[in-house]
């Protein structure tokens, strides 16, 4: 089955919001073997929406729309789909009742606009929306399939999973299986070069490299009659890949580095704390994105002002005066002070110039120091990014913090190179 994801909404074309719906749907569709051929976005314009539908079907049999199902005047997706398929729009009495009850429960008045949300193309099947006022719908006609979902992700996502996915699975024949092999420390070009002969002339499994933030992911995918066959084909290829680039691989299951670190800490019963300056809570936020992180993550002391570094971490005033807050010495004292305060098994600190202001000649914007306390040792390391934005520098610092912990837990870091 070949699919176009058609996003409707001028706010996307204005850049006011990011099209995360296309990301979610693409991932989910891939796992059930639906090939996503195109993403298309069109504004709240009836003519162009209909035209794009026609284009989408020229080599796809399924179109999934998101957005434009709301109560406002420029929400026209339903009307245009009906026109394209030559369907009348009629009121669905059951949907009107659901809508009335919902508004009643929320103590909100029903505006004339709202009533629109109980009307659908005559042959549509309703896709229920327990999380909002806009139900979606499914329509199959003239050999074409369409599913129309609401725009807000917290309404769209459960609707896809609970209402649409089961319908699509009924059409499926082959099974797709894939693994995302995540690497750190090797560029995309180098990685592809190293496995070039495995990629060439290979139709199944397929190999594809993706450069994402500061690292490269390799996806190995196979589509076979059964899941067992697909899994075996992927496993065989993975073995070959590991012979070439094994040392760069930190996850064979698409896990984030932070999650891999979390699992390692949990397995070993270790606790982790952080002392953050330039990352400003991003490390803690990344760690606590993980459900269950409270099993290993103790605390992060985000000490943004110098007085906070001194009071919370015991960084010495002389150190700040002599070496500044962005220095190897400060990073080290932050990690040591954090250990003192938290007694956590792994204590990591970071201080740097995220920019755009600040920086010195020796340590320009983009420079940061990471301190690490582990098993009685404490060391600090210097890092530098070039021409990076504030956001990118902070993200890079965060990745390097996880990388350092990962390497230390693997016992293969220069951390252990010499005694203190």
Given 77, 183, 300, 349, the residue binding its own copies (CB under 8 A): 300
Contact between residue 372 and residue 415 where contact means Cβ atoms under 8 Å apart: yes
- 205 to 244, contacts with its own copies by CB under 8 A? 208-212, 217, 219
- 58 to 97, contacts with its own copies by CB under 8 A? 59, 70-74
Query: CA–CA separation, 298 vs 223, rounded Å?
Result: 43
Closest to its own copies by CB, 177 or 415: 177
- Output the smallest distance, CB 295 to its own copies, in A: 9
107 sits near its own copies (criterion: CB under 8 A): no
- 400 to 419, contacts with its own copies by CB under 8 A? none
Given 287, 348, 380, 399, the residue binding its own copies (CB under 8 A): 287
Query: CA–CA separation, 95 vs 75, rounded Å?
Result: 18
Given 165, 263, 392, 416, the residue binding its own copies (CB under 8 A): 392
Contact between residue 168 and residue 185 where contact means Cβ atoms under 8 Å apart: no
Phi, psi angles (nearest 5°) of residue 42: -135, 150
77 contacts: CB under 8 Å, gap ≥ 6: 8, 49, 65, 67, 68, 69, 148
Given 107, 387, 417, 418, the residue binding its own copies (CB under 8 A): 387
- 36 to 55, contacts with its own copies by CB under 8 A? 36-43, 48, 52, 55
- Output the smallest distance, CB 298 to its own copies, in A: 5
- Output the smallest distance, CB 264 to its own copies, in A: 18
In 3D space, the residue among 66, 70, 36, 29 whose CA is nearest the CA of residue 49 turns out to be 66
3-class secondary-structure state, position 26: helix
Closest to its own copies by CB, 219 or 379: 219
280 sits near its own copies (criterion: CB under 8 A): yes
19 sits near its own copies (criterion: CB under 8 A): yes
CA angle 206, 192, 413 (to 5 degrees): 115
Given 141, 165, 285, 316, the residue binding its own copies (CB under 8 A): 285
- 241 to 270, contacts with its own copies by CB under 8 A? none
Pairing relationship of beta strands 144-149 and 175-183 according to DSSP bridges: unpaired
140 sits near its own copies (criterion: CB under 8 A): no
7 sits near its own copies (criterion: CB under 8 A): yes
- Output the smallest distance, CB 266 to its own copies, in A: 14
44 C-beta neighbours (distance < 10 Å), count: 20
Contact between residue 282 and residue 213 where contact means Cβ atoms under 8 Å apart: no
Identify which range of 20-28, 135-143, 235-243, 328-336 contacts its own copies by CB under 8 A.
20-28
What does the DSSP 8-state code read for residue 296?
Answer: T
Given 96, 252, 308, 328, the residue binding its own copies (CB under 8 A): 308
Contact between residue 350 and residue 368 where contact means Cβ atoms under 8 Å apart: yes
16 sits near its own copies (criterion: CB under 8 A): yes
323 sits near its own copies (criterion: CB under 8 A): no
Q: At what angle do helices 77-85 and 46-56 cross, to 10 degrees?
A: 50
Given 162, 189, 226, 360, the residue binding its own copies (CB under 8 A): 189
The continuous run of DSSP H or E covering 61 comes out as none
Query: CA–CA separation, 377 vs 11, rounded Å?
Result: 52
CA angle 197, 177, 191 (to 5 degrees): 30
Closest to its own copies by CB, 119 or 392: 392
175 C-beta neighbours (distance < 10 Å), count: 18
Identify which range of 31-39, 88-96, 228-236, 244-252 contacts its own copies by CB under 8 A.
31-39
- Output the smallest distance, CB 165 to its own copies, in A: 14
Query: CA–CA separation, 204 vs 237, rounded Å?
Result: 10
Contact between residue 87 and residue 48 where contact means Cβ atoms under 8 Å apart: no
Given 139, 220, 301, 401, the residue binding its own copies (CB under 8 A): 301
130 sits near its own copies (criterion: CB under 8 A): yes
180 sits near its own copies (criterion: CB under 8 A): yes
Given 173, 291, 318, 418, the residue binding its own copies (CB under 8 A): 291
Give Dmax (Cα) for the chain.
Answer: 79
174 sits near its own copies (criterion: CB under 8 A): no
């Amino acid at each position: 089955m070949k699919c176009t994801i058609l996003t409707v909404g001028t706010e996307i074309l204005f850049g006011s919001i990011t099209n995360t719906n296309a990301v979610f749907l693409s991932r989910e569709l891939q796992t059930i073997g639906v090939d996503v051929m195109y993403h298309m976005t069109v504004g709240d314009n009836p003519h162009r929406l209909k035209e794009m539908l026609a284009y989408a079907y020229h080599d796809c049999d399924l179109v999934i729309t998101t957005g434009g199902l709301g109560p406002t005047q420029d929400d026209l997706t339903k009307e245009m789909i009906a026109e394209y398929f030559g369907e009348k729009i009629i009121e669905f009495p059951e949907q009107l009742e659901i809508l009335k009850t919902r508004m009643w429960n929320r103590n909100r008045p029903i505006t004339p606009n709202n009533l629109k949300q109980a009307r659908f193309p005559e042959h549509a099947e309703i896709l229920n929306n327990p999380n909002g006022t806009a139900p979606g719908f499914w329509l199959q006609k003239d050999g074409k399939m369409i599913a129309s979902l609401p725009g807000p992700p917290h309404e769209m996502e459960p609707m896809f999973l609970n209402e649409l996915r089961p319908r699509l699975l009924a059409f499926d024949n082959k099974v797709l299986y894939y693994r995302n092999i995540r690497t750190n420390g090797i560029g995309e070009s180098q990685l592809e070069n190293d496995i070039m002969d495995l990629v060439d002339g290979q139709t199944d499994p397929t190999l594809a490299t993706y450069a994402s933030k500061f690292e490269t992911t390799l996806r190995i995918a196979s589509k076979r009659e059964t899941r067992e066959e697909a899994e075996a084909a992927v496993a065989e290829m993975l073995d070959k890949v590991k012979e070439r680039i094994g040392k760069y691989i930190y996850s064979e299951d698409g896990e984030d580095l932070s999650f891999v670190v979390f699992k390692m800490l949990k397995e070993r019963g270790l606790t982790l704390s952080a002392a953050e300056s330039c990352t400003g809570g991003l490390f803690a936020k990344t760690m606590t994105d993980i459900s269950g992180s409270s099993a290993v993550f103790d605390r992060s002391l985000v000490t943004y002002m110098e007085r906070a570094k001194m009071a919370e971490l015991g960084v010495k005033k002389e150190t700040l005066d002599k070496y500044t807050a962005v220095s190897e010495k400060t990073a080290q004292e932050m990690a040591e002070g954090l250990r003192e305060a938290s007694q956590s098994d792994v204590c990591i600190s970071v201080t740097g110039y995220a920019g755009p202001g600040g920086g010195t000649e020796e340590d320009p914007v983009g420079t940061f120091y990471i301190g690490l306390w582990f098993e009685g040792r404490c060391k600090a390391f210097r890092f530098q990014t070039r021409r990076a934005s504030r956001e990118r520098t902070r993200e890079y610092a965060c990745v390097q913090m996880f990388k350092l912990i990962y390497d230390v837990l693997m016992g293969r870091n220069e951390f252990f190179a010499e005694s203190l």
